[in-house]
A and B are shown apart, each in its own frame.
Chain A
Amino acid sequence: MAERVFITGMGMISAIGSNVVENLRSLRLQQSGLGYTRYVETIHKETLPVGEVKYSTEELAHMASVEQPGGFTRTTLLGLIAIREALESAGIANAAELPAALINASTVGGMCDTEKVYFDILDPQKEGTFLQYIDVLDCADCTQRMADATGIREYVTTISTACSSSANALMYGARLIQQGLVDRAVCGGTEALTRFTINGFNSLKNIDKQFCRPFDQHRNGLNLGEGAAYLILESESLAKRRGARVLAELSGWCNTNEAFHPTAPSPEGDGAYEAMKNALAMSGRTVNDVQYVNVHGTATLNNDVSEGKALERLFGTDVPRFSSTKPFTGHTLAAAAAIEAIYAVLSIGQQVVFPNLNFSEKMEELAIVPETQLIEEYPVQNVISNSFGFGGNNASLVFSKYEG
């Protein structure tokens, strides 16, 4: 019998707060973090909204207690801040105390800093401290700096499956635990805003010039965001042995590929349907046991139709309350699934459903509408969290209330 996998700690930073408590407060106050960038040099800085973390890279270095920030990218610093909070919240003073895994997720590594000096690097006439940033473009760079800062070393790796990256990091860590390779895995993702990704999504005509409106008839694309989030996963036996506080159980998961189109989901949501259905089956729960779905809900034309159809197929006429929290944080790509995993755990722990901001009109293709109000004292036992990405990479996770 495979070990159950528990969440015993979590830490995060996003556009709506630099720790879990601040994030929860913003969610409850319905305060969005969307705005305009102060830190990315781009011609789009006054036209395309983003969910930016409200600190300069220098301030982040200070918050992360990095004394010599040379070579530490914004991606790394966001990650360090979040992982330290996660370890602390799990009551882990020394992460090197037992063999653990660090499974990180990243879509463009240290591009946020590399892109500023890239053409200097290419210029043989130029020398200087920017050369410290040559090797930080690799996605491995941020992960290894986090591993070195925390002392985690048994398994150290990075996953990149576009917008589902950190869902796959959580799954992989959980599977390493189930197979007995480690008893503890720290899993999540980190993402900094870059000119590269802003222009990438903009060239795909996927970015809304207004604040994003998931599951709305008038939605017109996503807003990018940045942040980092990590969850401490532990085997049931380790959690019990050390008397850890269990926040929730990661009870089910599924990774599928839609094999439909490089950048678009199938109109009927085949991949999303399969991912949710199989994750739920693995968790041993049925559709009636799900009280909340934290949808991927990017507010792109395609995603929301496809994901909405999948919800209707899976749940029939009784779709549970669902919302996209991306109008709070923006779409944080590799960090998105981990940020939303924490929101799912908070939903269970606080017995609350978070609202889908900026909604005004039901989509014509769907019979369902997202939850637009904050609902307190709601009996949330099981939450599905969805993350769907380019390349057809779909992932669903099921979080369940821990009953002693």
Chain B
Amino acid sequence: MKAKVYIRGCAAISAQESFSGGFVPQPVTLAEHNMMRAKEPDYKGFIAPNNLRRMSRMLKMGLTAALQCLRNSGLQVPDAIITGTGKGSLQDTERFLHDIRQYAEAALNPTPFIQSTYNSVNGLIALQQQCTRYNNTFVHRGFSFEHAVLDGLLLLNEGNAVNVLAGGFDEITAEHFYIKSRIGYWKEQLTQPADLYTANTPGSIAGEGAVFFVLSTEPAAVRLEGLKMIYKPSQETLSQSLEAFLAQHQVTAADIDLLITGQSGDTNYDHFYHDLQSRYFPQTTSEPFKHLCGEYDTASAFALWMAVQRMEAEPSLKRVLIYNHFYGEQHAFFLLSR
């Protein structure tokens, strides 16, 4: 794609103190479950009290992260709103399932049904900012945020937008945490985030977050060079894809100043990271991020936010590569430069 795309602004609600903008990584301490909750900001100042009462947690987090991102970008109305979410508003989906059973399908309150719709956050952002243009929602596990970004790149390249609001959001609930624990998503023993990569056990720590970006053709400090997704690759296919991706952007592995990896501490799937790193980036500085935000479908949005923070703080970082996958199925590379 020909258009040069920059990250004009961003905002993150995560388990870190990320919303204020400063990035001081601080793994949280977990008390009972392998589950990291996002630090929710004060929603007043973003959402009118009347609306706030009606909205569920995911909607509040998603809308607020999007609004803060627009503020940070000095923008009122973007040319497009595109999001990715693996699960949408889980709390509403669960509530409607429980309501159907509890009230035996009679006299149901429609609000949780409406809010459980995956595009409800997009609709809210559009409504609040009166953005009547392109609006799309991707719902595909570890390719949700990635396709939101790709869709944005397409729009910018088509010349149909100058500023695209693109984001990813997911929440974890106690009920969903239990459900996924039944098929080995999380570590069985309580594991502190600080020990995520040394525990050497299957499963990860659950997380959540809402992270938004304004992708723009107007120059800014950090440039998003490209993005590549690979579906269910073998280790060999993955290597070939990385080589092709770097070559396409005319860089070599040695040009990468910082590698951000999505290792989740899960012994079933972390070999992808270890192999790629030892083969191509033996000398490169690398940092994981999931001890900070936990594992979830759209965790790569947090990684991208973290990369932007690092590049803004450290001018020596010229090129940053993010490599993430979600339980071994959806793999993605993001390449950032200046």
Binding site for B on A (CB under 8 A): 42-44, 106-107, 109, 115, 118-119, 121-122, 124, 131, 134-135, 138-140, 143-144, 147-148, 153-162, 168, 172, 175-176, 178-179, 195-196, 199-200, 202-204, 255-263, 270-271, 274, 389-393
Contacts and interface: CB of A to CB of B under 8 A. Distances in A.
Task: List the 3 closest A-B pairs by CB distance, nearest first.
Answer: A391-B123, A200-B113, A257-B135
7 contacts: A107-B118, A139-B118, A161-B122, A179-B154, A199-B113, A204-B114, A393-B135
Interface string B48-87: 0000000000000000000000000000000001000011
Interface string B126-147: 1101111111111111011001
B136 A172 contact: yes
B147 A43 contact: no
A259 B130 contact: yes
Contact of A260 (B127, B133, B183): B127
B249 to A, nearest CB: 15
Contacts of A157: 138, 140, 143-144, 147
Contacts of B157: 179
Given A162-B117, A390-B120, A257 B105 contact: no
B257 interface: no
Contacts of A271: 132
A101 to B, nearest CB: 10
B34 interface: no
Contact of B127 (A107, A139, A195, A261): A261
B111 to A, nearest CB: 9
A256 B132 contact: yes
B312 interface: no
Contact of B135 (A119, A161, A176): A161
Contacts of A160: 88, 117-119, 137-139
A118 B102 CA distance: 13
A391 B119 CA distance: 6
B104 interface: yes
SS class of chain B's interface: helix, strand, loop or mixed?
mixed
Given A159-B138, A257-B131, A258-B132, A393 B97 contact: no
A32 B120 CA distance: 32
A333 to B, nearest CB: 10
Nearest to A391: B123
Contact of A259 (B132, B180, B183): B132
A349 to B, nearest CB: 29
A154 B231 CA distance: 7
- Most chain A beta-carbon neighbours within 10 Å: one of B86, B114, B123: B123
B114 A259 contact: no
A121 B179 contact: yes
Contact of A138 (B116, B119, B124, B141): B141
B270 interface: no
Given A138-B141, A161-B119, A259-B130, A203 B110 contact: yes
B135 A158 contact: no
A237 B268 CA distance: 43
B134 A255 contact: yes
Contacts of A159: 136-139
Interface string B162-187: 00000000000001001110110000
Contact of A257 (B81, B104, B120, B144): B81
Given A157-B140, A172-B136, A257 B122 contact: yes
A395 to B, nearest CB: 10
Contacts of A257: 81, 122-123, 126, 131-135
A158 B109 CA distance: 28
B40 interface: no
B218 interface: no
A389 B119 contact: yes
A131 B182 contact: yes
B140 A43 contact: no
A140 B143 contact: yes
Contact of B105 (A42, A147, A158, A256): A42
Contacts of B131: 257, 259
A343 to B, nearest CB: 24
B134 A393 contact: no
Contact of A143 (B81, B140, B154, B158): B140
B106 interface: yes
Contacts of B17: none
A63 to B, nearest CB: 26
Nearest to A201: B113
Given A255-B134, A257-B133, A259-B132, 20 more contacts: A43-B105, A115-B97, A121-B179, A122-B175, A139-B139, A157-B143, A157-B147, A160-B119, A168-B136, A179-B1, A195-B105, A200-B113, A203-B113, A257-B134, A259-B126, A262-B127, A263-B114, A274-B132, A391-B119, A393-B135
B146 to A, nearest CB: 8
- Most chain A beta-carbon neighbours within 10 Å: one of B131, B133, B138, B180: B138
Contacts of A134: 179-180, 182-183
A262 B114 contact: yes
B101 interface: yes
A315 B178 CA distance: 55
Contacts of A140: 86, 139-141, 143
A122 B179 contact: yes
B7 interface: no
A393 B143 contact: no
A196 B126 contact: no
B97 A196 contact: yes
B229 interface: yes
B261 to A, nearest CB: 22
B137 A119 contact: no
Contacts of B130: 259
Contact of B100 (A148, A196, A391): A196
B59 to A, nearest CB: 10
B271 interface: no
A196 B182 CA distance: 23
Contact of B123 (A131, A138, A392): A392
Contacts of B106: 43
A200 B139 contact: no
Contact of B120 (A168, A204, A391): A391
- Most chain A beta-carbon neighbours within 10 Å: one of B124, B136, B154: B136
